Amino acid sequence: MESITKHISNPSQKLIELMQKMEREKDERREKLRAKVDLYFPDRNKN
Amino acid sequence: MEFSFPIESEDGYKYLIELTEQTLNFLGVPFNYDVRIYNITLSLIEKGSLTVNPVLSRIGYILSDFLDENGNVILYFYCSPTDHDIEIRPNRIITPQEFRSKLFLNIYKRLSYKFKKEYFHISYTINSPDGKLFNHFITHRKNKNIIEELEVLIHDK
């Protein structure tokens, strides 16, 4: 097993924009996922 | 392609985890490797009463099975700064993205230590104007060189 952590202290504007894109896509996926909640947890307490 | 996994613990925690295949323009540049990248989305649906640790192990099992059944796969986890779908104790001073990063590291530790699997993990912490951003990659060791190529692409951005 191998685990590495790296820091990018001076990211380019393109990299920051890429991260913003990742954030937007993550939000979209999370919304889609939440729409499936009733499918996977039909007995969930909806109160 | 996407795969969804519901997780429910005995103490009432409910999570949904989804693995979504990332399109080839993952980094906005050509990426021509025989490997598929899957984005991990983890959503807390309902809080339980005790600890989340058993749930983390089950998430670990799911990711481990997915990696083992799909050899040429890289799992990617972007730690979102939104405070939705997570549970941070009020007295804990930590950003949502850092909390998610630590959560993912805990899951990885279960993969590697508890399950004795030979995976390769790398995380990138990026200092952005909006704060630190955390990105994690996990794959089989045989795909380590591809992660290193990804790193070059990231740095060239």
ipTM of the shown complex: 0.85
Q: What is the pLDDT of residues B123-132, one digit of tens each?
A: 999 998 888 9
Mean pLDDT of B32-40: 87
Q: What is the pLDDT of residues B73-109, one digit of tens each?
A: 999 999 988 777 777 777 778 898 998 999 888 888 8
Q: What is the pLDDT of residue B149?
A: 81
Q: What is the pLDDT of residue B101?
A: 92
Distances (CA, A) of B87 to B47, B69, B100, B134, B153: 8, 31, 10, 18, 34
Residue A23: φ, ψ to 5°: -65, -45
Q: Report d(CA B114, CA B88) in Å as an integer.
A: 25
Mean pLDDT of A3-26: 88
Q: Report d(CA B123, CA B113) in Å as an integer.
A: 18
Q: What is the pLDDT of residue A18?
A: 85
CA nearest to B25 within chain A: A18
Using a CB–CB cut-off of 8 Å, the residues of A that contact B are 1-12, 14-16, 18-19, 21-23, 25-27, 29-30, 32-34, 36-37, 40-41, 44-45
Distance from CA of B5 to the nearest CA of A (A): 8
Q: Name the token pair of A29.
A: 């996926």
